[in-house]
Amino acid sequence: MSVAQEVEVANKVYESNFTKGDLPLPPGRKVAIVVCMDARIDPAKSLGLSEGDAHVIRNAGGRASDALRSVIISQRLLGTREIIIIHHTDCGMLTFKDEDLKKIIKDSGGDADHLSFLSFSNLKQSVYDDVNYFKNNSLVLNVPITGYIYDVKTGRINKV
């Protein structure tokens, strides 16, 4: 059974208990949360978010530059006025350098030299960098931005 088939089954249970059918489009808590795609992180459960609360933008590393398009849409069209950035311990982005991945792809016959994979070697610095990326980007509104490191061993977020 594919995972697609499995999620269809799981979704039937969710649908049968669903009571949130009249939520508005703009996030109720006016926040955009940028967080790594890592499988171990459940943003809703770990941060106390309910359906309707927050835009959740996720990519490899939780990188700000990769989230820019979404953050602009979130702020300019859907009214969010706060940003939270969450990177995490044991992140895959700490385990490789861009040139390593480009070589893997090249060795299999592809060419990703035009892409930036945004790997990083210092976790705390990556959070500072991404907070500052938004603070210094003129397309991003001047709103409160808070950066955290999520500890995958404890489930705790620690402010940077």
Residues at the annotated binding site for Zn(2+)?
36, 38, 88, 91
| Residues within window 132-151 making contact with a copy of itself, judged by CB under 8 A | 138-139, 144, 146
Our finding on whether 64 is near a copy of itself (CB under 8 A) is no
Q: HSE (CB half, 13 Å, CA atoms) of 109? A: 0
CA of residue 65 relative to chain centroid, distance: 11
In the shown chain, the binding pattern of residues 79 to 118 toward a copy of itself, with x for contact by CB under 8 A and - for none, equals: ---x-x-----x-xx-xx----x--xx----x-x--xxxx
How many CB atoms are located within 10 Å of the residue 95 CB? 10
In the chain, alpha helices (H)? 3-16, 43-47, 64-78, 98-107, 123-135
Report in angstroms how near the CB of residue 126 gets to a copy of itself at its nearest: 15
Our finding on whether 32 is near a copy of itself (CB under 8 A) is yes
Residue 56 or 127 with smaller CB distance to a copy of itself:
56
Our finding on whether 30 is near a copy of itself (CB under 8 A) is yes
Quote helix, strand, coil % in the chain, to nearest 5.
40, 20, 40
Report in angstroms how near the CB of residue 125 gets to a copy of itself at its nearest: 19
